[in-house]
Every structure is written in structure tokens, then in C-alpha cells.
Amino acid sequence: MSEGDGEGIISMRTSPLGLPADIQQKTASAVRQLRKALGETQEQFARRMGTTVRTIARWEGPRPPTGQALIRLEHMAATNGAVEAAAVFRVALNDAMGRRLSQASIYRTDEERDLCQALLAILREEKHKRRRAVVRRYLQPALDELQEQDLARKHAEDSEAALHLLQGGMDVPEVARRLGMKRQQVEFLSEELKRGTARKRAAQSSDIPFTREAAPSALR
């Protein structure tokens, strides 16, 4: 599928995510195509992407990737020769960006509107193909910062989920497997949880009030 063919897609049907249904289906297929091109299982691909097997399964099925995940997948596909998959990811990115830019309220000035439209033209039109690398080079620091923020948010969410499972009695290896986390990370959280529980019991046994401020971060 060529880039131009993908960008010409028009559909009246939309997915629950707001994407046209055909773009959603092609994006899910492209994730699977890229993973197989890399010769990886879902578990291996999840490690590469820094996410869980469950998330990869969703990406290849009913809930394809969005946002920063799409940007990473497009770059990964392009640098590994998966040209068709990269084109599909660009179509999905362009569609999502176009939907956001269609909301006039996001423009603060006319100049901002014109710059956004120019950026879309560079991303979408074949005649601007050479300029895409230049745009990517200048935007990469901002993209890297957004990716770091996403990773930090994901780490916090995974830690919270791991603590919940550990408190429920699940052992460290199973928590690590289920959440796609490194065992050392879960072991650290488990030790934090044990120390926090011990301090809480000691405070209760000595009639010392146990406050939120006195608790370790793992229990807050």
C-alpha cells in the first residue's frame, strides 16, 4: 500500500476510539505485520515497546495504538524496512492530528493555524517527502520529552498496579509476568511494602499515630 493510497481513505464508519473503522483495522494489522517482520513474539515485542503483552494483544486487535505509541511504531517500522506498516502508522497519525486540528479553538493565533497546516502538508504530501526528515530532526527533542513523560506516567501506573496485586497476596514472579515488569522492580516494591507494613504495625502497637506523611511512598 502506498502512502498516497492510505491517505486517501474515507470512511463513514468510525471505531469506538473515533478513528475510521478501516484505519483502525489496518493499524492493528500493521502492528502485527511489524512484529512478525522483527521475528518477535508478543512478549518480546512488548519488552521492546516497554509495555505489556496484554497491551500488544489489544494493539493487534480491538484497540490499536494511539499518540506516542504510534509515533514510536512508525519510526521503528521505517528504520527496519517495514515500509507498508510505516505508511499505515503515518495515515493513523495524520488522521488523529487532522481531527485535533479541526477544532478551531486550539488555534491561539492565525500564525499558529498556518504553521500547523504547513506541518500537515509536509507530513501528507509526497512532494514534501524530503522535508519530513528535517521536521523530524527539529521536533525530536520535544517528542523525546513527551515520550519520557509517558514512560514516567506508565511507570507510576505499573507500580500502583503491582502494589495492589502484592497487597492481594500475589507473588513477585506472577506480578512481574502479568504486568510485563522486571522482576527486580517488583521485588523492590515488595520490600517497600513489607517495610511500610512493619512500620505501621510498630506504630499501632506502641500507640503512635500512623499518618500518611509517615508512610513510605509505596503505601501512599
- All structural domains of the chain with their residue ranges: 3-124, 157-219
What is the reported pLDDT for 208? 45
For the chain, give the percent of residues with pLDDT over 70: 75
Residue with more model confidence, 220 or 13: 220
pLDDT at 10 over 70: no
pLDDT score recorded for residue 203: 61
Using CB atoms within 10 Å of the CB of residue 34, give its burial: 0 to 12 exposed, 13 to 18 middle, 19+ buried.
Answer: buried
Which residues are bridge partners to 20 per DSSP? 14
Q: What is the pTM of this model?
A: 0.42
Q: Ranked by mean pLDDT, which of 91-100, 120-129, 201-210 comes out on top?
A: 120-129
- Arithmetic mean of pLDDT, 39-57: 91
Q: Please give the Cα distance from 83 to 87 (Å, whole number).
A: 6
pLDDT band at 133 (very low <50, low <70, confident <90, very high): confident
Mean pLDDT confidence for 76-105: 78
What integer pLDDT is reported at residue 200 of this predicted model? 64
Mean pLDDT of the chain: 78
Burial class (CB in 10 A: 0-12, 13-18, 19+), 117: exposed
Q: Is the pLDDT of residue 153 over 70?
A: yes
